[in-house]
Amino acid sequence: MTTKIIRLEKISRFYQVGSEVVKALQEVDISINKNEFVAMMGPSGSGKSTLMNVLGCLDTPTSGHYFLNDMDVSKMSDNDLAEVRNKEIGFVFQTFNLLPRSTALENVMLPLIYAGVSKQERIRRAEETLASVQLADRMHHKPNELSGGQRQRVAIARALVNKPSLILADEPTGNLDSKTSVEIITLLEEIHQMGNTIVLVTHEEDIAEHAYRIIRLRDGIVEEDKLNENIVSYNELKTVNV
């Protein structure tokens, strides 16, 4: 039986800008199953960033319902949303969002502190997760001692350490060169192969081609939602048919 991680029902998000109402999202209906790898695309102003904020419980919709693991999070209080973010969602950002004075290990441990995990267990899980993203030898380095690709690996480890239901990656290759971008998207593919659900926001077609499904937005509306028939395989780096 297919398990739905995400179910959006007629989600709208309107903003008041002076005397004008900006309709960032308009009655969006989307479902995402467990262990899907979905890319979201669209031009500037399409609503993809607003949608990512709603999915990440960083913003609440003006109307409609958002079910995350069958919980209606669209009407939750700020405190409840903060708890959902910590337990259910792992974030990967374009700008890494690492604490500059903390080591890679300390950055990855951070979500576990908020979750109330003991110090010994925090260290064990953070070390294990950093090793899984090939950073076992860099865990005691601070961000300014790491390359851009290594910093993004730390951010991915931080997103994974709490074993969330959902990984949200917002332009994760946006600040990286082409070679490093391939390494990071390959890592995300490997994480997906291990059973994780990933939603990726990108404006790069070649990055989106790694996803199994591509959703395109325009003017706050889902313009296209289809399976990707030309997936770029992470282990063979060639086009295959699904």
CATH superfamily of 34-57+77-240: P-loop containing nucleotide triphosphate hydrolases (3.40.50.300)
How many CB atoms are closer than 10 A to CB 29? 12
Neighbours of 95 (CB within 10 A): 12
pLDDT tens track for 177-199? 989 999 999 999 999 998 999 99
- Tokens matching residue 78: 């700020």
Sign of CA dihedral 17, 27, 71, 119: negative
- C-alpha dist (Å) from residue 183 to 4, 173, 189: 29, 9, 10
The full set of domain ranges for the chain reads 34-57+77-240
Q: What pLDDT does 233 receive?
A: 59
Please report the pLDDT score of residue 241 as a whole number. Answer: 36
Q: Which pLDDT tens digit goes with each residue over 194-215? A: 899 999 999 889 899 999 999 9
Average pLDDT over residues 35-63: 94
pLDDT, position 75: 84
pTM for this one? 0.89
Each residue's pLDDT tens digit, 82-117? 999 999 999 998 889 999 999 999 999 999 998 899
